A = this chain, B = another copy of it.
Amino acid sequence: MTAVSESPRTTGIPAPAAEEVAPLDVDALRRFLDGAFVAEREACRAEFPADFFDPTDHLGTREHRDVTVDRLRRIARIGGHEKGYGRAWGGTEEPGAQVAQFEMLGFGDASLMIKSGVQWGLFGGAVQALGTERHHAELLPRILRLELFGCFAMTESGHGSDVASLGTTATYDPVTEEFVIDTPDPASRKDYIGGAAESAELAVVFAQLVTGGERHGVHALLVPIREDGRPRPGVEIGDCGRKMGLNGVDNGRLSFDGVRVPRTALLDRYAQVAADGTYTSPIEKPTARFFTMLGALVKGRVSVSGGSLSQTKVALSIAVRHALGRRQFARVPHATETLLLDYLSHQRRLLIPLATTYALSFAQDELMQTMDELLKVSLSGAEPDARRQREFETLAAGMKATSSAHATATIQTCREACGGAGYLADSRLPQLKADTDVFTTFEGDNVVLLQLVAKGVLTSFSQQVSALDSLGMARFATRDLVSTLAGRSPATSFVAELVDSGRDSGELRDRAWQLRMLEERRRHVVGSLAKRMRKARQQQEQTALAAVDALQDHVILAGRAHMDVVVAEAFTAAIARAEDPAVAALLQEVCDLHVLALLEREKGWFLEHRRMTTVRAKALTHAVNDLCRTLRGRAEELIGGFGIPEEWIVGRTLDVPSRPLDVRP
């Protein structure tokens, strides 16, 4: 399995002179990729028991759920999950460290990762972020010690990503000083709620708050749903049953029929209801209040992005190892058959997503640091800077959408690249595929999130445009605006690019050129979207709706184009930080492969918009092929850089005899 290829490295790119090639220390690469939370990750590697990573896909649902709760209790004893909480309640006020632990669980059992995320990320996190000291003191220590299991009841059967339209109501009754929780119709049933089917006793329920006959929008309340294992009166609990994956997590459904909770059940950091029913909030505008409350929960999206990348790294490790062991077809008759990874097309299949996984990891590390900083402010009781918070939310939405889509596509590719072996549970790939498939859907559907990203980018854009508009400058300045927005100097004219299209492939590897291409695409896509939006809105209502609908794909493209810039810049910035020259040199090539393959994939856009000549487009393919051939010899080092302990993978990879079949009666 650790076979080394005999094939010479063929490369069209001139190899650097011998003295420049520093030998790579894979540990240094791993530490560098570990990023800001390297210490926490190393602790997980040392402390997590290897059996956390034993396969679970042969288990029935009952057994799988039990195993997951048992593993969760062991994490509660090991610790690390409490780090994101206030010191008064046993935490260390290091939210980034907590998410780093979540990500490390993603190298193993995704059910365990998500179960921990439900309990200590969503449920405990909502209590911490939306509640006040009374809630914290009473609940957080018990939540952290697993004396109290909870769930996060936001999503409804008919209202998923559209949280503002939730149907569940919490109506205040000043006579008894209670809220009455109701599910008005089947579409407003809470659905897919992790932990609701079996383990949760308490739910954070998101509901439309009504007091004195007035609606105040969505708020979160604590609702006991289960006692001694049975649903509480007025609470109807359903079980979502078997799922594609994550069967260690007990997803369920909740309906409420006149369930009464005390006035103190309202998580009242951002809104209070007095005994007489008077509603007050430090945030005046209802939409601002709504987004502040949701914003406090963005950690979930950061976590899903990180978990997606962890599972992707496992899949790539398995597929690359397989491709370094499995041979197929002899190139010349009677010769040894060729290793899969010595085929260019197989290199393209695996090494391009491998490079993109590196790129996304660096962007994720930046996101984690921003989150850590902002949540620390929030934990201190203050409010983070509004602009930074908004930018962070846009970035978190974009990273969740980008990383989870990357995971779905890459794990699928890995499965196929392992052929029949990848279809067997023994390979671990089926479970990786099944567990991660919902990541594109939960914590906000990717289609919706990319529109959120575009909206965030457009908002900054139009604010600047309208400021300039009043000076009559907008028409001339739009080009520079998006560049300003991105905090970079304006892209140079692309006329020059079209002239010098004869450049050789070496110059395709000029990072400044690469970034300009991506920025130019963002600028054009966002700018033209803003124009079309304005035009659409000026039309009659019916026509305007149809016009905006027709823009949806453009909107999603804008979200993607923005994230492509963000990710490439994060990779570039990371390389600039690398102190080890061998690490930096390798990452330069990985970054080239990531960006050039992206440009190659998007060449239709660049050609259509006359940002690339056909000669350049063809040169891109050659450059990508050359980089694949170069990096083929570095594949083991790159996998090593992921830092997945050998014993977390061994015993579950393709070269191992099959496990006994589950032959339960």
List residues of A whose CB falls within 8 A of some B CB.
Answer: 10, 57-58, 60-62, 155, 158-162, 165, 187, 191-192, 197, 238-245, 253, 326-332, 337, 342-345, 348, 408, 412, 415-416, 419-420, 422-426, 429-430, 433-434, 437-438, 440-442, 445-447, 541, 545-546, 548-550, 552-553, 556, 603-604, 607-610, 614, 617-618, 625, 657-665
Contact = CB atoms under 8 A, between A and B. Distances in A.
A132 B419 CA distance: 34
A445 B420 CA distance: 9
Given A165-B330, A552-B344, A243 B441 contact: no
Contacts of A344: 549-550, 552-553
Contacts of A607: 604, 607-608, 614
Nearest to A244: B430
Contacts of A419: 160, 441, 445
Given A160-B328, A244-B433, 5 more contacts: A61-B662, A62-B663, A192-B424, A239-B658, A550-B625
A665 B59 CA distance: 10
Contact of A62 (B158, B191, B553, B665): B665
Contact of A158 (B57, B327, B343, B434): B327
Nearest to A164: B329
Contact of A241 (B243, B337, B412, B426): B426
A441 B412 contact: no
Contacts of A329: 162, 165
Contact of A345 (B61, B412, B434, B447): B447
A283 to B, nearest CB: 21
Nearest to A417: B447
A143 to B, nearest CB: 25
B434 A244 contact: yes
B424 A240 contact: yes
Contacts of A433: 244, 437
A62 B535 CA distance: 62
Q: How many copies does the complex hold?
A: 2
A242 B330 CA distance: 31
Contacts of A422: 441
Contacts of A550: 344, 625
A423 B62 contact: no
A541 B661 contact: no
A473 B424 CA distance: 53
A420 B191 contact: yes
A610 B607 CA distance: 10
8 contacts: A192-B424, A241-B426, A242-B662, A345-B552, A408-B412, A412-B412, A433-B437, A604-B617
Given A344-B553, A545-B331, A420 B434 contact: no
A561 to B, nearest CB: 16
A658 B327 CA distance: 45
A272 to B, nearest CB: 27
Contacts of A328: 159-162
B604 A343 contact: no
Contacts of A429: 244
A412 B442 CA distance: 16
Contact of A424 (B158, B241, B614): B241
Nearest to A446: B416
A333 to B, nearest CB: 10
Nearest to A330: B165
A343 B552 contact: yes
Nearest to A613: B608
A527 B440 CA distance: 41
Contacts of A541: 332
A429 B10 CA distance: 44
Nearest to A657: B238
A663 B242 CA distance: 10
B664 A60 contact: yes
Contact of A661 (B191, B239, B420): B239
B614 A662 contact: no
B60 A60 contact: yes
A549 B244 CA distance: 38
A326 to B, nearest CB: 7
A423 B447 contact: no
Nearest to A541: B332
